[in-house]
Amino acid sequence: MNNIITIGMDLGDRFHMAVVFDNDGKELKIGKVTNTKIGIGKFFKPYKSAQVAIEAGTHSPWISRLLNEMGLKVYVGNPRKLRFIWDSIDKSDAKDARMLGMVCRLEPRLLHPIHHRSSQAQADLTTIKSRDMLIKSRTQLINHVRGIVKANGDRLPKCSTTSFANRCSPLIASELWSAMAPLFEILTQLNKQIKELEKEIEQLSIKKYPETKYLRQVPGVGPITALSYVLYIEDPARFNKSRQVGPFLGLTPKRDQSGDVDKQLSITKAGNTYLRHLLVGCAQYIMGPFGPESSLRLHGLAIAARGGKNAKKRAAVAVARKLSVLLHRLWITGKKYEPFYNIQNKEAA
């Protein structure tokens, strides 16, 4: 039997703690690893073809890619599933690394390994994340200006965020203008930068990710949602069935069933928060006054019509879940989107 080396490594910001096990579970080495490519390469050089267990975090994407390139088998544990590590009453970096290595040596599936996207997909996602950060900054500045004006006894009119600077700057009182002028200048620059990034996202979708055109057939799904969906999932073949996408994105409800008790709980929120937010936004458009008639819209309106607490929110989440499945199906088949696909399938059956 081959002697398989297993290494558990607890990731830190400046240093990592690593514990090396042999095939029988005996600890061969405990070491501190410098958080640089040179330091990691030096430590793992003697352990070619070993298996390594780490936890998902800030540094796990580039570290896992580096170790894979060196020939090691890397398991990136899902922190949400490793409660026995972070909920310990006697916690330390060495003990966390030891626990990761022990679990990986016995049964790697208990780590609930996650898949990190490629470096290229990560780089392309930076454009989307930068736009999102600029939008958040613009919203905070607008709220700040409205709050200052309201505190002085005035109120600015409702308007879109893009037109706020041009429409509201003439309405600022003269005694406040010297302090507010720099903010309006920044808002104007933010609008320009956001438009530039949106153009870049559009070009990125057309040139590098033409599969987004299949996703954008669905009304309400724009270039940002389509590109985010493709980049976050990256490989549609990772799912055996399209229905697995909903749980992957955290759009399915939790479950706490015991005996006759089966509680109605909120969604798991296990997937990417930003993509889930985009899908829910698309669902709200589909169910809104401007959404065209479709199977998705009818499904959401039927749930909202039942009434009850948070009926509209539950309907939006349900539509977002169905939308995530539909987008995956359109991606892998490349077919034309049919608004009433459910009804047509039933009639065909």
Please state the separation of Cα 183 from the chain's center in Å: 31
Same domain, 46 and 154: no
Question: Per residue in 225-239, pLDDT tens?
Answer: 999 999 999 999 999
Same domain, 300 and 342: yes
Residue at which a domain ends, from 111, 127, 151: 111
Q: Is 175 exposed, middle or buried (0-12, 13-18, 19+ CB in 10 A)?
A: exposed
Give the number of domains in the chain. Answer: 3
- 99 domain-assigned: yes
Same domain, 128 and 102: no
pTM for this predicted structure: 0.85
Q: Is 276 in contact with 265 (CB distance < 8 Å)?
A: no
- 296 domain-assigned: yes
Residue at which a domain ends, from 111, 140, 167: 111
- 81 domain-assigned: yes
Report the CATH number that the domain containing residue 40 is assigned in CATH.
Answer: 3.30.420.10
Q: Tell me the residue range of the domain where 17 lies.
A: 6-111
Could you tell me the sign of the dihedral formed by the alpha carbons of 254, 256, 259, 263, in that order? Answer: negative
Same domain, 272 and 295: yes
- Specify the pairing of strand 6-10 against strand 51-55: parallel
Same domain, 179 and 86: no
Measure the CA–CA gap between 117 and 231, rounded to whole angstroms: 8
Question: Per residue in 62-113, pLDDT tens?
Answer: 999 999 999 999 999 998 888 878 777 888 999 999 999 999 999 999 999 9
Residue at which a domain ends, from 174, 207, 240: 207
Question: Per residue in 271-296, pLDDT tens?
Answer: 899 999 999 999 999 999 999 999 99
Same domain, 151 and 173: yes
- 1 domain-assigned: no
Same domain, 168 and 271: no
Question: Per residue in 118-164, pLDDT tens?
Answer: 888 989 999 999 999 999 999 999 999 999 999 999 999 999 999 99
**To the nearest whole number, what is the mean pLDDT of the chain?**
92
Same domain, 18 and 92: yes
Same domain, 337 and 272: yes
Nearest to 26 by CA among 108, 102, 109, 91: 102
Q: Give yes or no for residue 1 having a pLDDT over 50.
A: no
Measure the CA–CA gap between 111 and 54, rounded to whole angstroms: 9
The residues pairing with 31 across neighbouring beta strands, listed in sequence order, are: 18
Question: How far from 21 is each of 4, 32, 112, 198, CA to CA, in Å?
Answer: 9, 15, 20, 49
Residue 343: per-residue pLDDT: 65
- 142 domain-assigned: yes
- 212 domain-assigned: no
Question: Per residue in 167-185, pLDDT tens?
Answer: 999 999 999 999 999 999 9
